[in-house]
Amino acid sequence: MPLQNRVAPNGKIEAVPARGLVMGNRGGRIHDPLTRTLTRRRWASRRWICCQLVFKGRRRKVMGESYTELFFLDEVTALASGHRPCFECRRRDAKSFAGLWAQAEGMRLPPLADDMDRLLHTQRLQEKSKNDAILFSQVGNLPDGTMIASGGDKVGEAFAVRNGQLLHWSYLGYTPLKSNRSDWPLQVLTPAIIVDILRAGYTPLWHSSASDVEA
């Protein structure tokens, strides 16, 4: 049986066999190491990060005595669920992310990790408001890497914006959008500050299937 450690764009953690390209954690351990199952908690602290799968030859027992390892299809998925690049294993990306955060927010200097985590956690936990709702015709105004859901963030049908188009998301990858229904109620999943950072020029890691769809 697969472990419950795979994250969807809406932040839910589910048990599926596929692992994806990116690993991360939510600030500590949220599982029972004896049963290797999640507790009722869904985060240990507000430091939610996304990491490389391989770093300096380190090997871990997944869901062991340390923090709870989580897995994402790609960085686009991790960003949608509110995770940011790790300053240890992805330092270059993390510095770029912080620099573009400062640019998007009109700050003189890049923010500290704690400052970013504080705002991100607020946006992760807030209820989706009408300000998050968009029309299908507005999809082209969103930056690449933004993720949305049809009918709100609890429906499970998630889509990623790429070159002004929508790609259907699943744990296995992206597939073409089969129907361009203009009457869809769409909800932005990616936190607002991350949408601003994507618009400022941050380029996340995409699963290869996104390019396959375009081809």
Q: Which helix (H) or strand (E) holds 117?
A: helix 113-125
Structure tokens given for 210: 């996104």
Q: Is the pLDDT of residue 129 over 60?
A: no
Reported pTM? 0.92
Give the DSSP letter of residue 110.
Answer: P
Q: How sure is the predictor about 153, in pLDDT bands with cuts at 50, 70 and 90? A: very low
In sequence order, what are the residues at sequence separation of 6 or more whose Cβ sits closer than 8 angstroms to the Cβ of residue 129? none
| Per-residue model confidence as pLDDT tens digits over 21-73 | 999 999 999 999 999 999 999 999 999 999 999 877 778 889 999 999 999 99
Are 168 and 174 contacting, i.e. CB atoms less than 8 angstroms apart? yes
In sequence order, what are the residues at sequence separation of 6 or more whose Cβ sits closer than 8 angstroms to the Cβ of residue 57? none
Q: Is the pLDDT of residue 155 over 70?
A: no
Q: How would you class 38 by CB atoms within 10 Å of its CB: exposed for 0-12, middle for 13-18, buried for 19 or more?
A: middle
Are 63 and 25 contacting, i.e. CB atoms less than 8 angstroms apart? no
Mean pLDDT (the chain, rounded): 90
Nearest to 134 by CA among 177, 183, 195, 186: 186
Q: How sure is the predictor about 152, in pLDDT bands with cuts at 50, 70 and 90? A: very low
In sequence order, what are the residues at sequence separation of 6 or more whose Cβ sits closer than 8 angstroms to the Cβ of residue 192? 123
| Per-residue model confidence as pLDDT tens digits over 76-103 | 999 999 999 999 999 999 999 999 999 9
Q: How sure is the predictor about 156, in pLDDT bands with cuts at 50, 70 and 90? A: low
pLDDT at 150: 81
Give the DSSP letter of residue 95.
Answer: H
Average pLDDT over residues 106-117: 96
Q: Is the pLDDT of residue 6 over 60?
A: yes
Q: Is the pLDDT of residue 183 over 90?
A: no
Q: How far is CA 51 from CA 84, 87, 168, in A?
A: 9, 9, 24
